[in-house]
Structure 1
Amino acid sequence: MREHWHELTTAWRRGLTPGLTWGWLVVVVALTGLRCLGERPGWTPSQVLGILGTLVIIAGQLATLSLTFSHPERPVTWARVWQLVWDFKGTWLGLEMALTVLMVPWGLFGLSSQLVARVWLPSRWVNLVGLHRRPVVITVAIIYLLVTTFCLIRGPRDFRRLTPGLRHPGRAGQMIRGIIVSLGLLGLWFGGSQLMVAGVKRLGFGTENLVRLATAAGIMLSWIGFQCVAILGVTTLIWCWCGAPSLPMIRRDRRHWIGVTIVAVALASGVSWQTMMARPAFANSAVISHRGVDHEQGVQNTLGALRRIHRERPTFVEMDLHETRDGRWVVLHDETLATLAKRQVTPRQLTLRQLQRLEITENGQHAHLASWSDYLRLAERFHQPLLVEIKTTSADSANMVQRFGRLYGQRLRRDGSRVHSLDYRVVATLRRQVPKLAVGYITPFNWVNPQSMPADFYSLQQISVSRQFILAAKQRGGAAYVWTPDSRAAMTRSWELGADGQITNNLRQLRQVTDQAPWRASWAILQNFIYSYI
């Protein structure tokens, strides 16, 4: 064990010789520049040129590292490096593209959401994925694992092409050990960063200047820590690809570290300033009751819950509709009544009258299902705007959406209510039929530019939301709501990201979060910054 650790630390030292260290700094500057250029939605010529330049710089650095490990007895010159990059430019590009795709789910050095939020696809493709998200996610996960496994087995063998004369190409087992080491380093960084977040939280009752200073310092330290972990992780993987060769010890040269430290601190300071000062945060946030309840008080989507929740004056009460067998609508979220009524039946199999007779139970409370007409009438009596989610199934009547728009579109518009749906066909139909009614699209997960699905507003899934998706959603003046943050931490992070509203099951807690002074929630700036890298 001690011998393996000695070999690994020797490889790290070889990967941080003066020439390679300055090369790493150039790579970090390029990636940081891309991150800054990508804060706003859309593509610009500077971004495209920056991406191309960054790919060339990364190829040069990786080539230098591979030559250092594969031929440690020969000096590495710039002429050899760039000749290698040029001779195998297609292979280098393919390698970088493959690594980019594999790293997108893991942050891509903080660029993942910026890249994905710029992807445009036809709306019918996006809708198809959204409506069949479970099988799609499972299929994509299996393909990802197969591609990763193939790269582990085949990649080291093909790496010979990029390093002519490589004596002992790496094996799959070596790559797995290298990945374990890299993940371990990432885990240490993440754990240390979370400790800094906890420290800033404890300062939340101190002075504003102290909290802001601690947040800025946390951003600097977490950024420097991530760059160090990333460099050591990449060095480990390239060393393993080269067969984990035994390397001669080199004499330490501490002089160049003074300049490296100065440049790194200056970069970290710039990143901290940009994060603290140059980004919109803590926007005015609408408070929206999810399924018409607050902290399990009442049975979801029922008249009794609506009577309770309207006293808290939420901006909207979010509720759900299913079509019944007789072509009417019942207020219900689930596609079956197995959970609420212990009946293996769907809303489309019963008439509205039959559904209203069923007693439903939730959190030890009992109620009956409500018809849409009764629910809407009660909301209008309370002057309570609604956020109506229209659920669709393959059993719905062919003209269900058109009929709903004709009967209720103008009425909902006058009430100040809104409609949204996971099915983009509902969104497109209602926008055409009732142009002045605000109609939004619900993203089941965030993986393309929201404006691939033109809508008046967007309800973005909280788990995968980022600042780039919120900015892209709001680019043309629409609102960006987040669903469903229920913990204080998730609410605060969504508030800091600039969400226009939050759809939550804990309404009073959300009010407490958004009523506090923003500087007391500065820890969320640090935590969102950390999460953007993973």
Structure 2
Amino acid sequence: MKMEKQLVTGWAGVVVLLTSLRLVGTNPTTYGWFGGLAVLTVVLVAWQITRVLASWRGDNLTVKATWWLVWRHWWRWGLAMAWLTLLTLPFGLWGLSSRLLVRLRLPVTLINFVGLHRHVLGGIAIMGYLVLAIAGGYYLPRFLRRIAPYPLPPCQKGWWRSGWWGIGGGFLGLFTAELLVGVAWWSGSRLPESFGRPMTVGLAFLIWTVLSTVGVWLFIGVLRLAGGQPAAFGSPWRLPDWRLLILLILTGGLNAWQAVNQQPQFMATAIISHRGVDAGHGVQNTLGALRHVSKQRPAYVEMDLHETKDRHWVVLHDENLQQLTQRSVTPHDLTLKQLQRLVVRENGYRDHLVGWETYLRAAEAKHQRLLVEMKTTPQDTPHMIQRFASQYGQRLIHDHDAVHSLDYRVVTRLKQKVPRLPVGYITPFNWVSPRSVPADFYSFQRISLSQEFILAAAQQRINTYVWTPDTSVAMARMWALGTNGQITNEASRLRWVVHQPVATQRWAVLQNFVLSYI
């Protein structure tokens, strides 16, 4: 019984430290405290696993003996924790993934190289991840046997069942968490506003409890692969000592309160039409689509520019025209006049490609602000960006337009040439500190976006836009994260979402909380 209490105490300590990491990690500028807590958490996890391995034989190691065993295998623990971190980083990592990545400072040249070659590098990363996962799964039981204080018993018959139980428990926990999110959605429009925030905190606490229990359950299942006896862990459903129970309740309450009250949330949201289209009316980046969407007066119409063969610019997103014109040519293969004669088809509409000067004049006539995305290719002429800045920089400033790009060289060159022009950086995925790539604003990719990245930009007093939420669920989630604007193909739907009472959208806070774990 004493051994079991000590094991429960260890699990409680791990949960408390992980919760502390989550709370400290909400401030993207705290490096010292966050790093210290991370190291302490790794050491405690190593300590706890060592005690668990000893308990499989019914032995109770002394504090001194446990420390000595952890120190003896310090380099093995380092490799194991690095493997575990890399393997779980694409997922929630107990809600710590974004808190780690938002602190990652890398050279601008490396970040830009990864962004411009993301498709090739992404494929390599996926293959490397699979190799890492398979190799780690093969060596993990051997690692546990190597660091065990005593020879472990052979794997039990049917050891593989623990893996299936773990997977089943994970899905059950996720289903339960989503069920609680559904409760928040159902009650949002039925309860008075005064009940909304306390109920959201309570549901967040229940979600935290479910996911924490499942996390320990999965961890125990992994350890069983080395041949451990499940009885040595104690039942995961048995209540610990009342003092530990109070401690876990307090940490869970703090975690839930932070998730519900972390700022920014539900900010005023700028509606930005992606490629100038709303609900499929018209062909992207054409005058017909611009005329339709400008009637709704979005904050910006986002559109794209490519350089042509004769050093002009055409309003076009894709580098190849196969999808819109069924012709496998690029803008650099044709002059602007040749491109303007091409018919493009999309969403049941047909239109013509249009030159940048014509599109800009049409937007100015309708007093419609533009968010211009500058596309770059290896075929671009030298000093293309400087030439664009000289010809259109002051005009864009006068029109209150803005420019952004996936190529950070565009950001730096435009700011050097036209300092007063708002220029933003588009992140293909969110994996480094925004401070690594200074810009006037950021256009964050939606799938990997978290509140920490938005908070990091807000601390620099910089706006954040997100691309491209098109469903009501995605829009509500991004609104709950506190984005300053959303670049969407469904501008009218976004307008409806952000005009809903905040009380009816608090479920999105809980949904973001769940997704931060997984």
Give the TM interval when normalised to the shorter protein: over 0.9
Task: Pick one of 35, 48, 55 that aligns with 1:68.
Answer: 55
Tell me the CA shift for residue 256 of structure 1.
4.0
How far the C-alpha of 1:248 sits from its partner, in A, is 7.3
Whole-Å separation in 1 of the counterparts to 2:369 and 2:402: 8
Residue 124 of structure 1: which of 109, 116, 123 is its match? 109
Change (3 A) 1:361 1:162: same
Q: How many residues are treated as equivalent by the alignment?
A: 516
Change (3 A) 1:480 1:169: farther
Alignment of 1:353-502 (within 5 A): 353-502=337-486
Aligned partner of 2:6 among 19, 32, 38: 19
Shift of 1:60: 1.0
Q: Does 1:266 align with 2:250?
A: yes
Per-residue deviation at 1:475?
2.9
CA–CA separation in structure 2 for the residues paired with 1:487 and 1:87: 53
Counterpart of 1:185 in structure 2: which amino acid? G
Task: Quote the residue 1:348 is aligned against.
Answer: 332
1:289–1:317 Cα contact (<8 Å) kept: yes
Aligned-partner Cα distance in 1 for 2:117–2:231: 52
Does residue 158 of structure 1 match 2:122?
Answer: no
The RMSD of aligned alpha carbons is 2.2
Instruction: Look up the equivalent residue of 1:291 and give its one-letter code.
Output: R
What is the distance in 1 between the residues matched to 2:2 and 2:114?
A: 43
Kindly provide the CA deviation profile for residues 288-331 of structure 1, in whole angstroms up to 9, marking residues without a partner as x. Answer: 00011111111111111111111111100000011111110110
Q: Percent identity?
A: 43
Question: Would the aligned equivalents of 2:345 and 2:351 in 1 still touch at CA under 8 Å?
Answer: yes
Is the partner of 2:142 in helix, strand or coil?
helix
C-alpha distance in 1 between matches for 2:114 and 2:62? 49
* Cα separation, 2, equivalents of 1:47 and 1:293: 43
Q: 1:149, 1:429 → 2: CA distance?
A: 44
Question: Does the C-alpha gap of structure 1 residues 368 and 418 become closer, same or farther in structure 2, counting only changes over 3 Å?
Answer: same
On the 8 A contact 1:156/1:170 being kept in 2, the answer is: no
AA aligned to 2:390 is R
Kindly provide the CA deviation profile for residues 429-486 of structure 1, in whole angstroms up to 9, marking residues without a partner as x: 1111111101111011111112211211110000110011112233322211000000
| Distance in 2 separating the partners of 1:122 and 1:407 | 31
Residue equivalent to 1:308:
292
- Cα distance change of structure 1 residues 189 and 437 upon mapping to structure 2, 3 Å threshold: same
Partner SS, residue 195 of structure 1: helix
| Structure 1 unmatched ranges of 5 or more | 1-13
Equivalent in the alignment of 1:334: 318
Deviation at 1:250, TM superposition (A): 7.5
Q: Pick from 148, 162, 167 the counterpart of residue 133 of structure 2.
A: 148
1:28 aligns with 2:28: no
- State yes or no: 1:134 paired with 2:129: no
Change (3 A) 1:248 1:158: closer
Seen in structure 2, the aligned counterparts of structure 1 residues 169 and 449 have a Cα distance that, compared at 3 Å, is farther
Alpha-carbon distance in 2 for matches of 1:469, 1:92:
30
Q: By how many angstroms is 1:408 displaced?
A: 0.5
Distance 1:197 1:16, change over 3 A: farther
Q: 1:252 to 1:321 in 2, by over 3 A?
A: closer
Aligned letter for 1:495? W
1:43 aligns with 2:30: yes
Given that residues 178 and 240 in structure 1 are in contact (C-alpha distance below 8 angstroms), is that contact kept between their aligned partners in structure 2?
Answer: yes
Q: Return the offset for 1:77.
A: 3.3
Q: Following TM superposition, by how much is the alpha carbon of 1:191 offset from its aligned partner in structure 2, in angstroms?
A: 1.1
Rounded Cα–Cα distance in structure 2 between residues aligned with 1:97 and 1:416: 47
1:110 to 84, 92, 95: 95
CA shift, 1:216, in A, is 1.7
Question: Do residues 518 (structure 1) and 502 (structure 2) align?
Answer: yes
Q: Paired residue for 1:531, among 484, 507, 515?
A: 515
The residue number in structure 2 matching 1:6 is none
**Alignment map for 1:162-311 (pairs within 5 Å):** 162-168=147-153, 178-206=162-190, 207-241=192-226, 243-245=227-229, 256-311=240-295
Q: Deviations over 1:100-154 (max 9, x none)?
A: 2221112111101110111111111111111111111110111111122112222
For residues 284 and 134 of structure 1, what CA distance do their matches in structure 2 show? 34
Instruction: Report the Cα distance in structure 1 between the residues aligned to 2:363 and 2:163, rounded to whole angstroms.
Output: 56
Task: Give SS of 1:294's match.
Answer: coil
User: In the superposition, relative to structure 1, how do residues 44 and 147 fare at CA in structure 2: closer, same or farther (>3 Å)?
Assistant: closer
Which runs of 5 or more structure 2 residues have no equivalent in the other structure? none
TM-score calculated relative to the size of structure 1: 0.92
CA distance in 2, matches of 1:357, 1:27: 65
- Give the Cα separation in 2 of the matches to 1:306 and 1:128: 33
Q: Would you say 1:87 and 2:72 are equivalent positions?
A: yes
Question: What's the offset of the Cα at 1:264?
Answer: 2.4
Alpha-carbon spacing, 1:85–1:507, altered in 2? closer, same or farther (3 Å):
same
Residue deviations 1:211-231, cap 9 Å, x none?
333322210111011111111
Deviation at 1:63? 1.1
SS at match of 2:135: helix
Which one-letter code corresponds to 1:38 in the other structure? G
| Cα 1:255–1:321 shift into 2, 3 Å | closer
Match for 1:67: what amino acid?
A
Q: CA deviation at 1:185?
A: 1.8
